[in-house]
């Protein structure tokens, strides 16, 4: 299954599952990234990390290592 890291700039995706355990998974969910939420990849930093996304109406920067823990379904539009 693709992860948030696999989503291209300008594409949107729906979160299917947040993998990981403990504090890392809790931090991701506390930022609003939960099952069923739609995210839009806005841009990627020049060196490739972090990724800027829009989630629940606000912009959020997330590390690629954290983005790999978020399984998504890429929305085709």
Q: Alpha-carbon distance 59 to 1, whole Å?
A: 24
Domain boundaries 4-74, corresponding CATH code: 2.30.30.90
pLDDT digits (tens, 9 = 90+) for 48-69: 889 999 999 999 999 999 999 9
- pTM summary value: 0.86
Tell me the pLDDT of the chain averaged across its residues.
91
What residue spans define the domains of the chain?
4-74
Comparing 48 with 77, which gets the higher pLDDT?
48
**Region 37-46 average pLDDT:** 93
Helices (H) and strands (E) in the chain, counts: 2, 5
Q: Give yes or no for residue 77 having a pLDDT over 90.
A: no
Phi-psi group of 22: left, alpha or beta (phi > 0 → left; psi -120 to 50 → alpha; rest → beta): left
**Region 10-17 average pLDDT:** 94
């Amino acid at each position: 299954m693709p992860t948030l890291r696999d989503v291209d700039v300008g594409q949107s995706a729906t979160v299917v599952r947040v993998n990981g355990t403990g504090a890392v998974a809790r931090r991701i969910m506390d930022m609003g990234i939960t099952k069923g939420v739609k995210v839009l990849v806005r841009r990627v930093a020049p060196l490739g990390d972090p990724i800027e996304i829009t989630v629940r109406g606000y912009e959020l920067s997330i590390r690629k290592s954290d983005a790999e823990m978020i399984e998504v379904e890429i929305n085709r539009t």
